[in-house]
Amino acid sequence: MLFVLLVLSLILAYLLGSIPSAVWIGRFFFGVDVRESGSRNAGATNSIRVLGTRAGIAVLVLDMLKGYFAVSLTLFFSGILSPEFLSFLRVGLAVSAILGHVFPVFAGFRGGKGVATLAGVMIAMLPASLLVALGVFVLVFVLSHYVSLASITAALAFPFIVMLVFGVNELSLQLFSILTALFVPLTHLKNIRRLLIGNENKFQLRKRKNI
């Protein structure tokens, strides 16, 4: 029975991650599929480009909440599983939610890059490390105005922040931080190519008419 509940929790985390905030907000409120405009990515950055700042911020918050609530499913197993197993379960739920965002069952398996959902996961698991990584993100973004470069740099720095700055020694969290450093660049390969040839779009806040 416990095994079944664990599997169901992973499936639920994936379904939470699969809620396509950008796609649904774009379709329901603007009659636009963000995956067909701008960078064609179903995430907060492209939502701001295509739908406007307010809609993009709504997408950002909702995508972060998906990751946070997915990891919070471990509360149902508190007192049942050992702390070590709970820690690995959090990582499993986090991965499921992020995969749901990237490959959402509710949107034809065409989702976003998972950065906002990843941030929500980090709020639940490693909030202090996230704050430092956010500082790296902001610094790189302010200097370059490239969201992709800032995201990649913060992700690559994340394992060092977790293990060296904060000295986290839980194996599950160490593995998660390394997976983060691998995952974000992999989902940004097209951006990396555009950065190398100087063809990446710089980010500008904008307002959309008729919101």
Tell me the whole-structure pTM to 2 decimals: 0.91
Q: What are phi and psi of 200, to 5 degrees?
A: -80, 140
Q: What is the DSSP letter of 202?
A: P
pLDDT-derived band of residue 211, with 50, 70 and 90 as boundaries?
A: very low
The whole-angstrom separation of Cα 52 and Cα 209 is 8
Residue 78 pairs in a beta bridge with 81
- pLDDT tens digit sequence for 60-117: 999 999 999 999 999 999 888 999 999 999 999 999 999 999 999 999 999 999 999 9
* CA dihedral for 184, 185, 190, 194, sign (positive or negative): positive
- Type of residue at 139: L
* CA dihedral for 54, 57, 61, 63, sign (positive or negative): positive
The answer to whether 208 and 30 are in contact (CB under 8 A) is: yes
Residue 81 pairs in a beta bridge with 78
Closest CA to 148 of 108, 112, 102: 112
Closest CA to 65 of 24, 40, 101, 113: 101
The answer to whether 107 and 18 are in contact (CB under 8 A) is: yes
The whole-angstrom separation of Cα 19 and Cα 41 is 15
Mean pLDDT, the chain, rounded, equals: 93
Closest CA to 153 of 181, 127, 178, 126: 181
| pLDDT on residue 207 | 55
The answer to whether 32 and 50 are in contact (CB under 8 A) is: yes
